[in-house]
């Protein structure tokens, strides 16, 4: 039998400290929006394995599909003996993605791998090397995606140099006083100073900044990026790894803006808890690389594909897009009430799109300086009381909600009540 303390000690000896774990408790069982640790303690899960569980832990439909697939084959490598679930999932994703142009989908295993492949495809399609990403962006921890990720500590410290021809433009962020116009001026200046637009293959943006703070990109910014990409023959990539699959109330967050990207990267909630990711894009662009240029031994694992097809069916059958909008409204209203009851708690901003919601904590309302320490205390107090929370933001001073969209009203209410108690305890 395990204890949390014993496993913490064994882990310290066996696993590098670079893989940080947010909670010092070890999982034993999970169902929908609840999780139990090895000592039998129960937690309400507002994290969902970092945005992977929009359909909840072990959704019966997802588990049944994965088990049925396991009874046939679990791996053949799509590059050797292909299989139907990969093709069926690609067809489904092509149909779901925005825009009228014919589409194709490549399946891989992780979000970072999806981003790497989107860049490769954009380079092959345009014959250009450059990539532009934004301040605060998170695109992964592999070396190319790290170069694109816009946060030094802890991700980029001591592991450079990063690939050349990756440029950074300012993200439009009210907190930093950067308007859409400022951000677009920054991008135009980048074209003048460092990044010849004729050498840029792709501009990549998260339609809702994820790790960087759950900040939606103003729609006029996305529209302007589309125009700039069209003007210069640049591919627009929407990184929907965290925002996709219903989190914001649409299949893809960028749909809220009406902007159609050339390529979309997906992962996380697509496969209901199984490792799967992909690049969905315009067929002519996706076909730029020669046969053999794309892939990987495990890409599009058949069990994960079966799980993804089932997870998509769950999102449709249980009306999770509408539920996400309703949940987002509820979360924002409840956070506003909590903030009003407790002005000294210094909840400065409540923001998001659909159920992709975060609250930000500051030291005072004048300077709005980030209060990462308070945020940490809230998360620790919540854990003690049975609620799993995770921070985000460049200074770790926001708490984001990624609760399963399948969670019952009662569970969400219980979680929010614990959140308020944790807040009081953290301030006291």
Contact footprint for ligand PMP (CB under 6 A): 50, 110-112, 115, 138-140, 206, 210-211, 239, 241-242, 267
Task: Please say which residue, 148 or 422, places its beta carbon nearer to ligand PMP.
Answer: 148
Residue nearest to ligand PMP (CB): 111
Task: Please say which residue, 134 or 348, places its beta carbon nearer to ligand PMP.
Answer: 134
Q: In Å, how far are 72, 297, 401 from 78, measured between CA atoms?
A: 15, 8, 35
404 near 311, Cβ under 8 Å? no
Task: Please say which residue, 30 or 241, places its beta carbon nearer to ligand PMP.
Answer: 241
Rounded to the nearest whole angstrom, what is the least distance from the CB of residue 267 to ligand PMP in the complex?
Answer: 5
Distance CA 262, CA 226 (A): 9
Q: Is 354 left (phi over 0), alpha (psi -120 to 50) or beta?
A: left
112 near 141, Cβ under 8 Å? yes
Task: Please say which residue, 377 or 400, places its beta carbon nearer to ligand PMP.
Answer: 400
Rounded to the nearest whole angstrom, what is the least distance from the CB of residue 211 to ligand PMP in the complex?
Answer: 6
Rounded to the nearest whole angstrom, what is the least distance from the CB of residue 208 to ligand PMP in the complex?
Answer: 9
Q: Is 294 left (phi over 0), alpha (psi -120 to 50) or beta?
A: beta
For 428, residues 6+ apart whose C-beta sits below 8 A from its C-beta are none
Place of tokens 């990044």: 195
Task: Please say which residue, 159 or 198, places its beta carbon nearer to ligand PMP.
Answer: 159
For 42, residues 6+ apart whose C-beta sits below 8 A from its C-beta are 34, 35, 36, 386
Rounded to the nearest whole angstrom, what is the least distance from the CB of residue 111 to ligand PMP in the complex?
Answer: 2
Angle (CA) 137 138 143, round 5° = 115
> How many Cβ atoms are within 10 Å of 341's Cβ, its own excluded?
11
Task: Please say which residue, 138 or 345, places its beta carbon nearer to ligand PMP.
Answer: 138
Rounded to the nearest whole angstrom, what is the least distance from the CB of residue 218 to ligand PMP in the complex?
Answer: 18
Rounded to the nearest whole angstrom, what is the least distance from the CB of residue 242 to ligand PMP in the complex?
Answer: 4
């Amino acid at each position: 039998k395990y204890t949390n303390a014993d496993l913490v000690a064994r882990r310290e000896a066996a696993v590098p400290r670079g893989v940080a774990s947010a909670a010092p408790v070890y999982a034993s069982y999970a169902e929908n929006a609840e999780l139990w640790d090895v000592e039998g303690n129960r937690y309400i899960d507002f994290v969902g394995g970092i945005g992977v569980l929009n359909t909840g832990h072990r959704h019966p439909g997802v588990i049944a599909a994965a088990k049925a697939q396991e009874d046939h084959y679990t791996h053949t490598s799509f590059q050797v003996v292909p299989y139907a679930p990969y093709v069926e999932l690609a067809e489904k994703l092509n149909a779901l993605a925005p825009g009228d142009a014919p589409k194709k989908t490549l399946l891989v295993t992780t979000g970072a791998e999806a981003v790497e492949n989107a860049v490769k495809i954009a380079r092959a399609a345009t014959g250009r090397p450059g990539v532009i990403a934004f301040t605060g962006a998170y695109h992964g921890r592999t070396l190319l995606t790290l170069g694109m990720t816009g946060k030094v500590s802890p991700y980029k410290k001591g592991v450079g140099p990063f690939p050349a021809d990756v440029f950074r433009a300012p993200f439009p962020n009210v907190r930093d006083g950067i308007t859409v116009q400022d951000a677009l001026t920054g991008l135009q200046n980048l074209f003048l100073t460092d990044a010849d637009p004729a050498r840029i293959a792709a501009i990549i943006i998260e339609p809702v900044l994820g790790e960087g703070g759950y900040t939606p990109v103003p729609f006029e910014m996305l529209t302007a990026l589309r125009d700039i990409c069209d003007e210069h023959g640049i591919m627009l990539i929407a990184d929907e790894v965290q925002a996709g699959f219903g989190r914001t109330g649409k299949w893809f967050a960028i749909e809220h803006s009406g902007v159609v990207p050339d390529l979309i990267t997906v992962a996380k909630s697509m496969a209901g808890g199984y490792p799967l990711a992909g690049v969905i894009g315009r067929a002519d662009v996706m076909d730029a690389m020669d046969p053999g240029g794309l892939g990987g031994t495990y890409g599009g694992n058949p069990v994960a594909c079966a799980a993804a097809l089932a997870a998509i069916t769950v999102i449709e059958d249980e009306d999770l897009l509408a539920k996400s909008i309703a949940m987002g409204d509820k979360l924002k209203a409840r956070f506003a009430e909590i903030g009003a009851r407790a002005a000294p708690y210094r909840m400065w901003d409540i923001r998001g799109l659909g159920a992709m919601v975060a609250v930000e904590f500051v030291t005072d309302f004048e300077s709005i300086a980030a209060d990462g320490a308070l945020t940490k205390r809230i998360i620790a107090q919540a854990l003690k009381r049975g609620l799993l929370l995770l921070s985000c933001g460049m200074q770790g001073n926001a708490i984001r909600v990624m609760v399963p969209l399948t969670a019952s009203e009662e569970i969400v209410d219980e979680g929010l009540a614990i959140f308020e108690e944790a807040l009081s305890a953290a301030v006291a």
